[in-house]
Structure 1
Amino acid sequence: MSHMLIFGLGYTAARLAEAVRAMGWTVDATGSAGNIAFTDKGAVHAALAKATHVVSSVPPSGGSDPVLDRYGDALGAQWLGYLSSTGVYGDAEGAWVDESAPTGGGRRQDRAACDARWLEAGARVFRLPGIYGPGRSAFDRVKSGKANRIDLPGQVFSRIHVDDIVAGIIAGFDGPEGAYNLADDLPCPQNTVIEEVSRLLGKAPPPLQTLEDANLSPMALGFYSENRRVANGKAKRVLGWQPAYRDYRAGLRALL
């Protein structure tokens, strides 16, 4: 029987756990929603000993990768997957980036370093843009009054529905190691998504604001400091993956 160990049972990894359990797999996981404490070396090593597949969604900490630092020596016999970020590519001034683009030049330098370490370990590294899905989407921000429209002509983002990430990881079970961008087919301005959600909800969209007037958090400001379109052709070509939600319209309709 296939058995998965997930390091960091967060939003996306929890959806993955549900999917593989539905396939008849067993799952162990660390994190507040998991059944194993990350610091319990005995329990983690026992789970690793029976794991056929290991997935980490643990972000960098202190400039390094906590999973590889603590348990890297016990990895290698299993199928390895790592949930990374397309932020490793940095700012492309709106241009397309694929897996051949250089990494480590943007604000996500720690993430890029961890990404590289997992590649060296033989993992399938899934580079993810903005993630949305049930309970985590522009619908929630518009309904709560926390959505912003920022006046930045030419600014575009890529995004991905959480269930398409899960499908991409599962497709990667039979694919070669390496990096894979998982993004939908239509990068677009965040304003476009907010406007569509407002229309679907019958609400007036929030007013356009400058970055300065929007009073965004440092994390959100970093989000707007980079501009790129993420190409997904390798995952389609090599893994046979296709996003079920090919653009924000399809994804929003499913959430509505």
Structure 2
Amino acid sequence: MTKTLLSFGHGFSARALSRLLLPQDWRVIGTTRSEDKAPRLMNEGVEPRIWPGADMDPALNAATHVLISAAPGEDGDPVLAELRDEIAARARQFEWVGYLSTTGVYGDHGGDWVDETTPLTAATKRGIARVEAEAAWAAIPDLPLHIFRLAGIYGPGRGPFSKVRKGTARRIIKEGQVFSRIHVADIARVLAASIARPDPGAVYNVCDDDPAPPEDVIAYAAELLNMPIPPAVDFETADMSPMARSFYAESKKVRNDRIKDELGVDLLYPNYKTGLRALLAQEIGA
């Protein structure tokens, strides 16, 4: 029987997963809000659905696996807002359901370590919305839900090199600030490993082994490009958007033991240095 992944909000991480599944004869149906993005999905072997708008019953009927990447909005989780009853009615049909959340659900821990058992103490509007969305999905009876709390995502086209080259990169300095990260290729590997080894109710932190200050990442990117290290700017006086500033409201180091111990994942890019070197090599070779 053909496995069919229905992917809501088929974006950066979901596209990386589909690149692993399609060569294994999976069928992948991906939703997008933009008709302009539909041809790109088709070129990648994904069947696009413009949603909201399209009738999702045929896709839901075909789905053996479901991935939710869509972020919550003002009205909560957009997929549940439109399709909760339809999904709940098919809960036992699905072999695996994955929800892509964020490590922001843990809130601020002053640079200390967190793991999947850490209480959820989100304080930002964005983090609180994710906590609520996780709970809403978990409340659906018999749904084989797996929650993936993603750290800061980078990968091809999403890295610091462009800003460094343009001269717009800054090293924002806030004492004690540390972030965890994850390369999109490793997100895909974690999801694929979970699909191969379902454990309904499981929660996984998806991050690399090396939480690091953001200014160190920018400096290393500049070194790789043989360009001057961007200037240091004090966080308190930095000209930043409210969204950018909100990320600095929380500092924590995220443990990833569970993806290794329970899913057997061996990260391709266990730290930002290996990840950035690979991105640059890929750019040069493209």
TM-score (norm. length: structure 1): 0.95
C-alpha distance in structure 2 between counterparts of 1:229 and 1:247, whole Å: 13
Which range is displaced more, 238-247 or 157-166? 238-247
Match of 1:92 in 2: 109
Structure 2 unaligned blocks of 5 or more: 39-47, 281-286
Q: Compute the displacement of 1:153 (Å).
A: 2.1
Identity score, percent: 41
In the alignment, is the contact (CA less than 8 A) between 1:5 and 1:53 conserved in 2?
yes
Alignment of 1:26-65 (within 5 A): 26-31=27-32, 32=34, 33-34=37-38, 35-40=48-53, 42=55, 44-65=56-77
Alignment of 1:67-86 (within 5 A): 67-75=79-87, 76=91, 77-78=93-94, 79-86=96-103
In the alignment, is the contact (CA less than 8 A) between 2:5 and 2:27 conserved in 1?
yes
Match of 1:13 in 2: 14
Match of 1:207 in 2: 231
1:83-128 superposed Cα distances (whole Å, 9 cap, x missing partner): 1100010001001111111114321101111022223334111100
Select 2:161's aligned residue among 107, 121, 139. 139
Q: Compute the displacement of 1:41 (Å).
A: 5.1
Alignment of 1:74-223 (within 5 A): 74-75=86-87, 76=91, 77-78=93-94, 79-107=96-124, 108-121=127-140, 122-173=144-195, 174-177=197-200, 178-223=202-247
Match of 2:277 in 1: 253
RMSD: 1.4
Q: Compute the displacement of 1:3 (Å).
A: 0.7
C-alpha distance in structure 2 between counterparts of 1:119 and 1:63, whole Å: 18
Aligned length: 255
C-alpha distance in structure 2 between counterparts of 1:113 and 1:158, whole Å: 22
1:43-81 superposed Cα distances (whole Å, 9 cap, x missing partner): x11001011111010000114111112112222121211
Match of 1:238 in 2: 262
Q: Compute the displacement of 1:237 (Å).
A: 1.3
C-alpha distance in structure 1 between counterparts of 2:166 and 2:9, whole Å: 28
In the alignment, is the contact (CA less than 8 A) between 2:104 and 2:122 conserved in 1?
no
Q: Compute the displacement of 1:245 (Å).
A: 0.4
In the alignment, is the contact (CA less than 8 A) between 1:104 and 1:113 conserved in 2?
no
TM-score (norm. length: structure 2): 0.85
In the alignment, is the contact (CA less than 8 A) between 1:83 and 1:125 conserved in 2?
yes
Letter in 2 for 1:120: A
SS at match of 1:150: strand
In the alignment, is the contact (CA less than 8 A) between 1:157 and 1:229 conserved in 2?
yes
* Closer/same/farther in 2, CA of residues 157 and 15 from structure 1, 3 Å limit: same
Letter in 2 for 1:241: V
Letter in 1 for 2:68: S
Which range is displaced more, 73-82 or 155-164? 73-82
* Closer/same/farther in 2, CA of residues 87 and 218 from structure 1, 3 Å limit: same
Q: Compute the displacement of 1:9 (Å).
A: 1.3
